[in-house]
Amino acid sequence: MIRELCKGCGFCVEYCPRRVLELSEEFNKKGYHPPIAGNPEACVCCGLCELICPEFAIYVKPIEEEEKEGSPKRTQGSAQESEV
């Protein structure tokens, strides 16, 4: 998430099929509430949030989970936030 580009429209929150995102209570410099990944473990990296964002403020970056005993590594998505 590039917080300062977000205008708080909520499209990414509303249309996320896995309900990963929620609007933050914090404000960005423009006075909007950018989304946060409230449920990042549910993200499947579908990219819908990227496609629907009119400001190109959000992106999905795959993350690898730590290996657990007896289970292989797998890739999971998470809406990422960066400080700009």
Q: Decide if 39 is inside a domain.
A: yes
Contacts of 35-44 with C-beta under 8 Å, sequence gap 24+, read 35/1, 35/6, 35/10, 35/79, 36/1, 36/81, 37/78, 37/79, 37/80, 37/81, 40/78, 40/79, 41/76, 41/78, 42/18, 43/18, 43/76, 43/77, 43/78, 43/79, 44/18, 44/76, 44/77
Q: What is the CATH number of the domain that holds 22?
A: 3.30.70.20
As a whole number, mean pLDDT of residues 24-36 equals 96
- Confidence tier at 74 by pLDDT (50, 70, 90): very low
pLDDT at residue 63 above 80?
A: no
Q: What is the pTM of this model?
A: 0.72
Name the residue range of residue 71's domain: 3-76
Structural domains of the chain, count: 1
Is residue 83, in this structure, part of any structural domain at all?
A: no
